[in-house]
Amino acid sequence: MKSKFTKKETAPLENIEEWEDDLLVRYPKPKSEQAKSKEDYRNYHDSERVDTVREFYRLNHQYQTYDFVVEKQKEFLAFDKKEMAFWDAIDYLNTLVDDSDPDINLDQLQHLLQTSEAIRADGHPDWFVLTGFIHDMGKVLCLFGEPQWAVVGDTFPVGCRHSDKIVYPEFFGANPDHHDERYNTEYGIYEPNCGLDNVKMSWGHDEYLYQMMKDYLPEPALYMIRYHSFYAQHREGAYDHLLNDHDKEMFKWVDKFNPYDLYSKVPVPPDAKKLRPYYEDLVAKYLPDTLKF
Ligand SMILES: [Fe+2]
Ligand SMILES: [Fe+2]
């Protein structure tokens, strides 16, 4: 089943961090807050990376069709792959490190902790901190052999026209849905302002983790998890016509979350060991001991 894509097609990026690094180029930290972040920009403009990121989006835009999403939902939302204790899942996720350049790339746990610690430092409620801490756990999909472009990358609605506000919109020309008249009109299979709960998104770590967490966290947390990669909406407002009023209210939380995800890299990484007891309590307060993947 997995051999449908070649190795090159499965992993166009050297590591999945490259997508997030590229987001920083597209959405740099506002100038006024940039003082300490010069570091973040090293290497981002080297052309090799631009090429791999481009190839990543080419594959993402070509293969993320409505049918592909249906197939992936069937495959992964049964949650019958693996059962793991929460902290084992974090360790497992952390095996997703980039070997090619260990000095530059933080491990996944560090990104999660930096995000959640920045949220905590700003005095937000504990469930918001927890959201920061778990928001990328869905990336374990990569460890199940999934193509990078079906785990990370900007997400977008499928079943209706691809907005030209999505990064590299020209690559959608190779997506069969682009030429399918059921799917290529402004609303496609949807009704005006039908609400995002009725809209299928391209498949990736966001929807996967949302489905895993939906019984355990408050609604704003679930919106943050589910739509944190939906840049075409939370940064560009390209799909206002599908959102209902409730979505619009809830997207204020998605907006609030995004800077913590993108701009929380700090020069001195948080001390994971020291922080562990705090996060153990926090996780125990909201989540079951074991999670199904
Ligand atoms: Fe993410
Ligand atoms: Fe993230």
Ligand at minimal distance from the CA of 205 is 1
Q: Specify whether the CB–CB gap between 253 and 280 falls below 8 A.
A: no
Nearest one of 108, 150, 162 to 13, comparing CA atoms: 150
| Ligand 2 centroid – CA 188 distance (Å) | 30
224 Cα: distance to centroid of ligand 1 (angstroms): 10
Domain boundaries, the chain: 2-292
Give the residues across from 291 on adjacent strands: 84
pLDDT of residue 123: 98
What pLDDT, in 10s, does the model give residues 213-260? 999 999 999 999 999 999 999 999 999 999 999 999 999 999 999 999
pLDDT of residue 269: 87
Name the closest ligand to CA 257.
2
Residue 43 has a pLDDT of: 52
Residue 2 has a pLDDT of: 53
DSSP letter string, 164-221 = TTSSSGGGGGGSGGGG-TTTSSSSTTS-TT--GGGSPBPPSHHHHHHHHHTTTS-HHH
> 181 C-alpha to center of ligand 1: Å?
31
pLDDT on residue 198: 98
Q: Which one of the ligands is nearest to 260 CA?
A: 2
**pLDDT < 70 regions, the chain:** 1-3, 34-46, 97-106
Q: Contact, 120 vs 104, CB < 8 A?
A: no
What pTM does this model have? 0.92
**Burial of 143 per CB tally in 10 Å (0-12, 13-18, 19+):** middle
pLDDT for res 105: 54
